[in-house]
Structure 1
Amino acid sequence: MHDLVRDIRLVAFDLDGTLIDSVPDLAVAVDAALEDQGVAPVGEARVRDWVGNGSWRLVERALEAALERPADQGVLEACHARFLAHYHASPVERTRLYPGVREALEGLIAHGLSLVLITNKPQAFIAPILEHFALNDAFALCLGGDSLDEKKPHPAPLLHAAAHFGLSPEACLMVGDSRHDIEAGKRAGFRTLAVPYGYNHGESVTDSGPDAVVESLSELV
């Protein structure tokens, strides 16, 4: 096992950009929602830099970019509702599991570690995605961006997960692709590990100072 995991008892994983490349489906839903409002689509490349702070902020960024000004609250609410509807209708048609993910999860479970999923994606989308990839039994706990009062980079979801299993933060590891994951992990007292291939607003995740970086999650086992 990776040195960072040797005395760890719980591993928390981010979802989008860490386990799955979901941007193709997210971008289709964003563009469809914009078109419903009579606004020009923004395209997948731009959406890729906006993922990570939850669906509301994603739609807000897209609207602001398309309109070239802040969006009115009513328009934003309507666009967000349409985004959720479009994404709910097709959340995994183009989404792919990153290489090494399945091997990492299976290997960590085989070593007796508890796995949890902590994402800023709305809770309602988690189960369909995990079921599609036959990963619904991999995680002992799943927390979405609307599961608690706070979401990453706030440490609350991570501390909730540690407390759920009766573990100290020092026995836990946060794995993610963005500065929000690393910040949440540090604030919670978790060790932190980053992957460089995900979504981090065009920045290098190494700039956030994780304890370690791996090119593939398969390196964990």
Structure 2
Amino acid sequence: MPAAAPASPLVVGFDLDMTLIDTTLGFAATLEVLGVELGVEFPVGEMTARLGPPLEQLLAGHLAEEAIAPASDRFRALYPEHAIAPVPLLPGAADALAAVRRHAGRLLVVTGKYAPNARLHLDHLELEVDHLEGWVWGVGKADVLRREGASIYVGDHLHDVEGALAAGVTSVSVLTGGCTREELLDAGTHVVLDSLHEFPDWLDGHRGAP
């Protein structure tokens, strides 16, 4: 069962990739460029089907172990040129953030993405949040959520659920990142939404209409 509605003030954390933004095209474009530089033909479709895990994990099956760290650094250097402009907000994302503001809430973005590149996305899409934390993954997100006083964490991946549960906050999952409803429920999420379009009504019900 979902955790009981928390006392004010409201603090809501959101994952970034495939929760707020659709990074598929930008990630794929950067992988293509990296592959050309390295002389490696990455299976781009397969690698972008379920974005969320750290880049090093995605590259691990395709490069020698000693090549992964420098390739990851190069990917992050290439990323701003190839992956910011083509990446859009996911449907309902702007309304979801606005719903938190209507409840006088604080907004966090807690993501596994390299923080400077995450900031470029937020600035490009004119998303105003109160705190951005990058390079945190799975249960590592729990420390940030506790420190910032979050009561809800919204993500698309099984490991987003792990982070929320480890922090003792309400886990809200969306079906925009490739994980199935059954997988997310089995992981222990409290709520599964088809997309962020459903989040404002859910939040009103959770907190009471503002």
Per-residue deviation, 1:88: 2.2
Q: Is the 8 A contact 2:141 2:164 kept in 1?
A: no
How many angstroms apart in 1 are the aligned matches of 2:131 and 2:114? 15
Q: Look up the match of 1:125.
A: 117
State how 1:18-167 maps to structure 2 within 5 Å. Answer: 18-43=19-44, 45-49=45-49, 51-61=51-61, 63-64=62-63, 71-73=64-66, 75-135=67-127, 137=128, 139-145=129-135, 151-154=136-139, 156-164=140-148, 167=149
The alignment partner of 1:185 has SS state of helix
Q: Look up the match of 2:163.
A: 184
Q: Which runs of 5+ in 1 are unaligned?
A: 65-70, 146-150
Per-residue deviation, 1:125: 0.6
In structure 2, the CA distance between the partners of 1:17 and 1:178, relative to structure 1 (3 Å rule), is same
Superposition RMSD in Å:
2.3
Does residue 17 in structure 1 map to residue 41 in structure 2? Answer: no
Give the % identical residues.
26
Q: Which runs of 5+ in 2 are unaligned?
A: 201-210
The alignment partner of 1:97 has SS state of coil
The alignment partner of 1:20 has SS state of coil
- TM-score scaled by length of structure 1: 0.79
Per-residue deviation, 1:46: 0.8
